[in-house]
Amino acid sequence: MKSLGTVVSIYARIARTYAQWAPSLLLLAVIVFVPLGLINAIALDADIRSLSLGSGLELFAVVTAVLALAATSLVGEVFYSGAVAVSLTHGEEGKPPSLREISSRLAYGRLVAVDLLYSLLVAVGLVLLVAPGVALFVWLGLAVPVVEIERRGVRAAFARSWQLVRGRFWIVFWVLAPIELAGSGLGTLATLLTDSLLGGSLAAEWLAESVSNILLTPVYAVAAVLLTLDLIAEKDGSGPRLHSAPAGA
């Protein structure tokens, strides 16, 4: 019951933080995910099955394009998660950093490396046996916020995430897993709705991709940051603190 109360309390704080920071979170999400939504929509709209895969050069071009699009999307999502961590915890004289300050603070290389390894480990765990993938999703799920909040390297970020989650596995699970599943489900629903209303057009794909990411990715990012801050304070007795919402937000 104590764990249930803790999870409910965390969800309430996520909702309050999202509401307080909504203008900043949504503005940053628009900047990141509208152009990326267009890129992903173009990739989805392309009819790859119609290509002649007998041509080695054509196949190479398709594979290269898909990898480039995947990398672009990854950088956008990593940028957003790291930017939220920076925005909510860093700044001068209690004021949140500007977009320029956020972009200059981000450890892009470490964030991309952490995200690639995290995604790969979770995917392999899910393919081989579901339980290990879910476990890795939880145990390593705080590595990206740790990179920006504590300025740790790749290996140290994974080790720190494992340390923070130890003893609080189910709390982290019941916060992050439902948000992730809800985000995936609502993203699929948005795609179905836009397809039914606008048809399977490029505009429909772009709208669904952009809107679902803009509305849902901030919730997961805020949840991960709040969990990380709480667990750092619990393990260390003190740690970075969450900023108040920006004035005028």
Residues 180-228 have pLDDT tens digits of: 888 778 777 877 777 777 776 777 778 877 888 888 889 999 999 999 9
pLDDT band at 23 (very low <50, low <70, confident <90, very high): confident
Helix axis angle for 202-236 and 169-198, nearest 10°, is: 170
Please name the residues in contact with 40: beta carbons below 8 A apart, sequence gap of 6 or more: 69, 73, 205, 209
Q: How confident is the model at residue 75, as a pLDDT?
A: 54
Can you tell me the distance from the alpha carbon of 132 to that of 139, in angstroms, rounded to the nearest whole number?
Answer: 10
For residue 81, how many other CB atoms are within 10 A of its CB? Answer: 24
The single-letter DSSP state of residue 152 is -
* Structure tokens, 70: 């995947």
Cα 193 from Cα 152, distance rounded (Å): 42
pLDDT at 169: 95
**What pLDDT is attached to residue 159?**
97
How high is the pLDDT of residue 103? 82
DSSP 46: S
Number of neighbours of residue 115 by Cβ within 10 angstroms: 19
User: Quick one: pLDDT at residue 54?
Assistant: 52
Structure pTM?
Answer: 0.81
Q: Is the dihedral of CA 28, 220, 146, 16 positive or negative?
A: positive
Radius of gyration of the chain (CA): 19
Rounded distance, CA 218 to CA 207, Å? 17
Whether 89 has a pLDDT exceeding 70, the answer reads: yes
Nearest one of 232, 96, 209, 212 to 157, comparing CA atoms: 232
Closest CA to 162 of 142, 145, 184, 183: 142
Which residue ranges make up each domain of the chain? Answer: 2-236
Residue type (1 letter), 33: F
Task: Give the model's pLDDT for residue 249.
Answer: 46
**In the chain, where does DSSP find H-type helix?**
2-45, 56-89, 99-105, 108-128, 130-139, 143-149, 154-165, 169-198, 202-236
